[in-house]
A and B are shown apart, each in its own frame.
Chain A
Amino acid sequence: MIEHTVDQLYVGQEFVTNVWISQKAKQELQKMRRFPDLGKLVDKIRYWAVSGFEKWEGATRPIVPEWDGVFSLRYQSLHRILGFYENDDRTRFIVIDVFLKKDRGLNEAESGRIDRVGQVKKLNLWVRGQ
């Protein structure tokens, strides 16, 4: 059963990593619309997409591997933009969910959201929109 429809966010020849984003992730970012640094956050994603996400990956870098093939794009230690590489191909990244951490570590609900994104990847519970 398809859970997520994803749309193009940054897709094209100028991007080493093309990025798609789910409706859910857009809704979560919409809640942050009054967040003053939202533009900066998306600006980072665009920059990383142009130069390629792979270069920015690592435990101490802004794109962090979580588990089950899920990666989180991080901003100021609180924001977690969750997604995965389609077929583990570093040129295609699918953003599924977004949340703001409540505390220093992840609580159960937040870990559960990472688990869920892992399931979306594993079971292909997503599809591209128009």
Chain B
Amino acid sequence: MTVDWLKQAQEDYSNSPDGYIHEFRLSFAEFVIDRLRELGWSQKDVCEKLSVSEPLLSRLLSGDHNWTSASAGKIFWALKSRARVRPPEKKTPIEIPVEYYSPAGHPILDTSAEGFTYRGHDGKENEIQFKDFEGIKASTFRKRTVSGSKAGNDIATGSAKSLG
């Protein structure tokens, strides 16, 4: 017997409105647990402060209690914490587009250890072998970020003969 059906049941529930409520309650319960640990308090301490019973707090910590926002606010107060709901952070990778240009400003289309291909001013692709140009190395070429990105500007790495 596989676990797939179990995981599917969990996923179906998680994606339901009840699942969203459940996750919210569990995250609140987790916050309370973490905060109690930070303060060095027991559940009993916070129950006394709130004048609530331990079974009630236990239900809250199970993620099953339908507490009101007022109750939650009192708990934040008791735990000396303020809380705000923020939109979820967007976790997208930052991509910094980079284009390479020859010293003469030709966009580099492809590079290798032997040379590179560039697009000339006439729009045609041209291939250059390093061995044909004295003093030119791959590191000679400028790296320029596409406008609008946050990375730095041109990197000048030395001189080379102009490619014209």
Cβ–Cβ contact A26 & B1, under 8 A: yes
**Residue in A42, A55, A75 with the greatest tally of chain B CB atoms within 10 Å:** A42
CB atoms of A55 and B3 under 8 A apart: no
Q: Does B7 count as interface, using CB distance less than 8 angstroms?
A: yes
CA distance A58 to B64 in the complex (A): 17
- Say whether B10 faces chain A, with CB atoms less than 8 Å apart: yes
Q: With both chains docked as a complex, state the minimum distance between the C-beta of A28 and any C-beta of chain B, in angstroms.
A: 11
B12 x A55 contact (CB < 8 A): no
Complexed CA–CA distance, A104 and B13 (Å): 28
Given A43-B22, A44-B26, A60-B61, also A26-B10 (CB < 8 A): no
Query: Which B residue's beta carbon lies closest to that of A21?
Result: B3
Interface string of A61-84 (1 = CB under 8 A from B): 110000000000011100000000
Question: Once the chains bind, are B61 and A61 in contact (CB under 8 Å)?
Answer: yes
We find that the number of chain B residues with CB closer than 8 angstroms to chain A is 29
Of all chain A residues, the one with the shortest Cβ separation from B55 is: A60
Interface size class of A (residues with CB under 8 A): 20 to 34
Given contacts A60-B58, A61-B61, A76-B64, contact A29 B18 (CB under 8 A): no
The answer to the question of A40 belonging to the interface, with a C-beta cut-off of 8 Å to chain B, is yes
Q: Which residues on the B side are within 8 Å of A7 (C-beta)?
A: 2-3
**Residue B63 is within 8 A (CB to CB) of chain A in the complex:** yes
**Complex-state Cα separation, A23 to B2, whole angstroms:** 9
B34 at interface (Cβ–Cβ under 8 A)?
yes
- Contact partner of B57 (CB less than 8 A), chosen from A60, A74, A76, is A60
Decide if B45 is an interface residue (CB 8 Å cutoff).
Answer: no
B-side contacts of A55, CB under 8 Å: 30, 33-34
Query: Is B111 located at the chain interface by the 8 A CB criterion?
Result: no
Chain B 7-36, CB-CB to A under 8 Å as 1, else 0, gives 101101110101100110010001001100
B6 within 8 A of A: yes
Cβ–Cβ contact A43 & B43, under 8 A: no
Q: Evaluate contact between A47 and B3: CB separation under 8 angstroms.
A: no
Question: Is B54 on the interface with A (CB-CB < 8 A)?
Answer: yes
Given contacts A60-B58, A60-B61, contact A26 B6 (CB under 8 A): yes
**What 10 pairs across the A-B complex have the smallest Cβ distances?**
A39-B13, A42-B10, A39-B9, A60-B58, A62-B62, A47-B26, A26-B1, A43-B10, A43-B13, A9-B3
A–B Cβ pairs within 8 angstroms, 10 of them = A7-B3, A26-B3, A38-B9, A39-B9, A40-B22, A43-B19, A43-B22, A45-B10, A47-B23, A60-B43
> Could you list 4 further interchain pairs (A-B, Cβ under 8 angstroms) beyond the known A39-B9, A42-B7, A44-B63?
A30-B5, A33-B5, A43-B10, A62-B62
